[in-house]
Amino acid sequence: MTALDAPRNKFMRIERLDGPETECRRLLDLGITPGEEVAVIQSVPFGDPVVLQIRGMRLALRRREAAWIRVR
């Protein structure tokens, strides 16, 4: 499932990033790496942004970027 499909406020482990290589590199630089735990804190249906909590910080991402984050 993607971060967009994940239940809110539940930590899940990142499996991989599935998206354009250059843009996924930016997510990796932000600390969104496989093996880390991430939780969706805020999400608006059909709107941006999606707020994630990872490594003790909160990040706001576009929906299309959050869709590249595969979690389990």
In order along its 72 residues, the chain shows pLDDT tens digits of: 999 999 999 999 999 999 999 999 999 999 999 999 999 999 887 888 999 999 999 999 999 999 999 999
Tell which CATH classification among 3.40.50.720, 2.30.30.90, 3.40.50.1970, 3.30.360.10 matches the domain 12-71: 2.30.30.90
**Residue 64: what are its φ and ψ, rounded to 5°?**
-65, -35
Cα separation, 3 vs 16, in Å, equals: 11
**Domain residue spans of the chain:** 12-71
The CA-based dihedral angle spanning residues 70, 37, 42, 30, taken in that order and rounded to the nearest 10 degrees: -80
Burial class, 50, CB count within 10 angstroms (exposed 0-12 / middle 13-18 / buried 19+) = buried
Cα-to-chain-centroid distance, residue 33: 10
This prediction's pTM: 0.92
